Amino acid sequence: MTGAELSFVVDGLVEEGADGTHLLGSRCNGCNTLYFPQMASCPNPACQTKVLRPETLPREGTLYSYTIQRYQPPALFRMRNWKPYVLGLVDMGEGVRVMGMLAGVEEDELEIGMSLQVVTEPLFDDPERGAVATYKFAPVGVG
């Protein structure tokens, strides 16, 4: 899935590369800290520079923790054929932990520490925008 034909829930969260979807964050020129999503400034109090540049995160990370969202969230959240889904917290390296939906993994396959990679998946259909996608995390080799 390239995701190129999809509109995204929010602009500026991901970048599609030759090898697939990458989360798009910021790195600080001063203290070298990596952030996701893109930040307005560097919140490191020891950093005097606070000049950020966009930077993509590695595609792969490891599952740090997770839950299953059993109740339908408020209306801002839209999903085709709503049903409970897995929300994960994924360690992307350099201390960056990112929350997101998981794809292509059954409940009984979930294991803290498992390898996951960022993918783009359609989330809902909008009359004007068509299929709208979000980023998700899937086991390596899925999606």
Partner 1 sequence: MRPVYALGAGAHPWGKWPDKPQVQLAVEAMGAALGDAGIGWPQVEGLVAASSRFEGGMGWGLHANEVVQTVAEQGIPCINVGGACAAGAIALQTAYSLIASGQYDVVAALGAERMPKGFIPRPPGSKDDRTDNDYLRWVAMGATNPAYWAIEARRRQHDHGTSAATLANASVLMRQNASGNRYARYRDPLTADDIAASPMVADPLHLLQICPVSDGAAAVILGSEDFVQKSGKAAVRVAGCAIGSGQFGDPARRIPTIASTVREGVSHTSEVVGAVRRAFEMAGIGPEDVDLLEMADNSAWHILAWPELFGFYEAGKGDWMLDNGHLAIGGKLAVNPSGGFLSFGEATTAQALLQVAEVLWQLRGQAEGHQVQNAKVGMTAVLGLGANGGSIILSR
Q: Name the burial class of residue 73, with classes exposed (0-12), middle (13-18) and buried (19+) by CB atoms within 10 angstroms of its CB.
A: exposed
- For residue 103, the SS3 value is coil
Which helix (H) or strand (E) covers residue 57, if one does?
none
Residue 130 gets the label, from left (phi > 0), alpha (psi -120 to 50) or beta, of left
What is the closest distance, in whole angstroms, from the C-beta atom of residue 140 to partner 1 in the complex? 20
Using the rule CB under 8 A, is 13 a contact of partner 1?
Answer: yes
Candidates 58, 101, 104, 139; binder of partner 1 (CB under 8 A) is 101
What is the closest distance, in whole angstroms, from the C-beta atom of residue 114 to partner 1 in the complex? 12
Using the rule CB under 8 A, is 135 a contact of partner 1?
Answer: yes
Torsion of Cα atoms, 21 then 66 then 63 then 111, to 10° = -120
Within 114-133, the residues that bind partner 1 by CB under 8 A are none
Using the rule CB under 8 A, is 64 a contact of partner 1?
Answer: yes
Number of residues that bind partner 1 (CB under 8 A): 46
Peptide bond into 37 cis (omega under 30): yes
What is the closest distance, in whole angstroms, from the C-beta atom of residue 136 to partner 1 in the complex? 8
Residues lying near partner 1 in the complex (CB under 8 A) are found at 9-13, 25, 33-38, 40, 43-46, 64-74, 76-79, 85, 87, 89, 94-101, 112, 134-135
